[in-house]
Structure 1
Amino acid sequence: MSEAILRNQVIQKAWEDPSFKQRLLSDPKSALKEALGISIPDNVTLKAVEEGSNEFYLVIPPSPASGVMKSDVTTLGSW
């Protein structure tokens, strides 16, 4: 399953299931494991945030100085 498909499934489920959405916001790793069987490694921090109609988030990946190659930038936001 591609990252885009997975992301869309999580968003759709959050829109349709208020209790899943609350679990996703408070404990995203457990919510994903329970609802979709997705395990996130312990050494990975996962944060779920809800955008508002006038509020958007821009995720800035690690800088190239940290050893990330420019060609890798498109995959940095992947789960």
Structure 2
Amino acid sequence: MTRIRLTPAEHLDLLDHHRRSADPAVGYRAHILLLLADGNPWATIGASCSARPSPSAGGSGGSRRMVRTPYSADLGDG
């Protein structure tokens, strides 16, 4: 299992990037690092990676798709 250790300041910084980054890729990578720091295995993270909302290939304002993740129940989505 890959686990990384974060200081409280690093954890808060990654949370800020995850929640507020103008670049979705930066927020997505921050989320992966936070999941690793919480001790989640790569298999769980990999399964949830494909479950992120993604804009359609049509560009701005396109439809979005959502696949249920292990965390959906925590958010009331499932």
TM-score, normalised to structure 1, is 0.32
Higher relative CO (Cα under 8 Å, sequence separation at least 6) belongs to: 2
**Which structure's residues are more often strand, by fraction?**
2
Question: So what's the TM-score if we normalise by structure 2?
Answer: 0.32
